[in-house]
Amino acid sequence: MAETEPKDSPKDSIEAADSHEPDIYGEDGAVRSSFLARVGAAIADRDVLFLRAHVGHLHPSELGHILQVLQPEQRQALVQLLGEEFNFEALTEVDEAIRLEIVDALPNEQIAEGVQDLDSDDAVYILEDMDEEDQEEILAKLPFTERIRLRRALDYPEESAGRRMQTEFVAVPPFWTIGQTIDYMREDHDLPDRFSQVFVIDPTFRLLGAIDLDRILRSGRAVKVEDVMQETRHAIPATMDQEEAAQIFEQYDLLSAAVVDENERLVGVLTIDDVVDVIKAEAEEDILRLGGVGDEELSDSVFSISRSRVPWLMVNLLTAFLSASVIGLFEATIQEMVALAVLMPIVASMGGNAATQTMTVTVRAIATRDIDIYNASRVIRREAIIGLVNGIIFATVVGLVAGALFHNPQLGGIIAAAMVINMLAAALGGILIPLLLHRVGADPAIASSVFVTTVTDVTGFMAFLGLATWWFGVHH
């Protein structure tokens, strides 16, 4: 593996792709169009030599990027042309729709061959979305131990630590010396591709502790494993939700952690790279939910996306009719003073925005556990004050402008009063609704927006039109 080519190898030519410094990405971080065009031409020409030399040896994530940007027919052709050289790990780097499209077109035989070379966590990632029948057929073609391992992981629930774990790990007994441990690693060729900890287990596979590799390297050969191992404080139960496991990794800065079954027996290892994916995915999920979309991907079909967005729009429609019915209560007042119709969206819109600000902060604080029983009441009070302060500021601005525009200072006063009321309602709705949803076990990210804007729309129209009806009714 000695690689000591000069650093100044040609960076811009496509030829660089099979030196060990490929540069398939342009300045903007996207795959270079020149490279992509060359790959496309090679696929069209069935130029297997070029593809194996320049595409087959890319890092799996790079190959994944290429697959992602190719046309569907090109993807199939590329996988076929690469044949045994195709690294199935690349499939863990593409959207689910693309992954399924590729594996559906492949014979199960070839998939079984391909996943055998992978770490078990990657193999599971590819298998878990396939239909039961294909899954079984592929598993049946695998060697016994491999099959048992994958099936064990697949038996754990989706999004659990057991599903994400890698079943390959290094484990030694506590009475070994560091020297024995190092010798074992030098001799055994069935070690995982990469690892950062050695686990210590008893004869029944019960987890006793772990030693980080840097600690092994720092210890003398004669030192006993049990004297340098650290008792495991953060063993992850296989059934634990992946998000919770990710939080433990994050809090304790772990690189890997033992996954244990219900009898505290070591069954696998969760590694930081999988956890990083989980952290990204969970943040992503929150963003999409706040925006009222499910976990759609760019490669999903128009039909499935359209359908997945309808429920949210439907809920919004119902709340929009609710707001409309509030306006309907004041038809007579509006008819007499059309300025109200002109101004009323301002009150609602400012409330909606202020509420969205508060809600966003609250949803995040709940997700990161920054908000808890110790500070909830303080935070609620604080948001109320902020709502009131900003309400007064904007009430003044809007009141003066509206009063001047319509040459009606009373109208200015009424919209100002309505603004203060609605901004306060916005602050309280923005914090209380997510907290309440969280309390009853719902995901605050998914449902807060719709409730919160309903509150501000209804309160806004009601306060503004109600005050106007009362005031001008009395002073007519």
| 44/293 with CB nearer its own copies | 293
Given the rule CB under 8 A, which of 104-112, 135-143, 158-166, 342-350 is the region that contacts its own copies?
Answer: 342-350
Residue with Cβ nearer its own copies (106 or 229): 229
Q: Does 182 contact its own copies by CB under 8 A? A: yes
Output 135 or 453, the one with its CB closest to its own copies: 453
| Nearest distance in Å: CB 457, its own copies | 7
Alpha helices in 57-143 (DSSP H): 60-69, 72-82, 96-105, 108-116, 120-127, 132-140
Residue 34: closest CA among 63, 3, 13, 48: 13
Query: Which string of DSSP letters, residue by residue, matches 311-347?
Result: HHHHHHHHHHHHHHHHHHTTHHHHHH-THHHHHHHHH
Q: Which is nearer to its own copies, 140 or 218 (CB)?
A: 218
Nearer to its own copies, 138 or 337 (CB): 337
**Interacting residues with its own copies between 383 and 422 (CB under 8 A):** 385-386, 389-390, 393-394, 397-398, 401
DSSP string, 355-389: HHHHHHHHHHHHHTT-S-TTTHHHHHHHHHHHHHH
3-state secondary structure 226-287: HHHCECCCCCEECCCEHHHHHHHHHHHCCCEEEEECCCCEEEEEEEHHHHHHHHHHHHHHHH
**Residue 44 engages its own copies in binding (rule: CB under 8 A):** no
Residue 455, classified by CB atoms within 10 Å of its CB into exposed (0-12), middle (13-18) or buried (19+), is buried
**Cβ atoms within 10 A of the Cβ of 106, count?**
19
The sign one gets for the Cα dihedral 384, 385, 388, 390 is negative
Instruction: Examine residue 158 and tell whether it contacts its own copies (CB under 8 A).
Output: no
Binding mask 429-468 for its own copies (x = CB under 8 A): ------------------------x---x---x-------
User: Closer to its own copies at the Cβ: 101 or 134?
Assistant: 101
Which residue is listed with tokens 């309440």? 436
Grouping H, G, I as helix, E, B as strand and the rest as coil, residue 193 is: coil
Neighbours of 391 (CB within 10 A): 23
Q: Using the minimum distance from each CB to its own copies, give the nearer residue, 270 or 344.
A: 344
Q: Does 253 bind its own copies (CB under 8 A)?
A: yes
Facing residues of 207 across strands? 201
121 half-sphere exposure, CB direction, 13 A CA radius: 25
Nearer to its own copies, 144 or 374 (CB): 374
The whole-angstrom separation of Cα 432 and Cα 66 is: 46
Instruction: State the nearest-atom distance from the C-beta of 87 to its own copies, in Å.
Output: 14
- Torsion angle (degrees, nearest 10) of CA 222, 223, 226, 227: 160
Site residues for its own copies, 345-374, by CB under 8 A, read 345-346, 348-350, 353-354, 356-357, 359-361, 363-365, 368-374
Closer residue to its own copies (CB): 53 or 288? 288
Q: Which helix (H) or strand (E) holds 465?
A: helix 444-474
Residue 11 near its own copies by CB under 8 A: no
User: Contact with its own copies (CB under 8 A): which of 48, 97, 171, 341?
Assistant: 341
Q: Which two tokens stand for residue 417?
A: 């009063």
For residues 85 to 124, the per-residue mask of contacts with its own copies, x marking binding by CB under 8 A and - elsewhere, is: ----------------------------------------
Q: Site map for its own copies, 224-243, x if CB under 8 A?
A: --xxxxxx-x----------
- Judged by CB under 8 A, how many residues of this single chain contact its own copies? 132
Interface with its own copies includes 255 (CB under 8 A)? yes
Instruction: Figure out which of the listed residues 250, 265, 380, 396 binds its own copies, where binding follows CB under 8 A.
Output: 250
Chosen residue from 29, 107, 203, 441 binding its own copies by CB under 8 A: 29
Does 276 engage in binding with its own copies (CB under 8 A)? yes
Q: Which of 13, 34, 335, 410 binds its own copies (CB under 8 A)?
A: 335
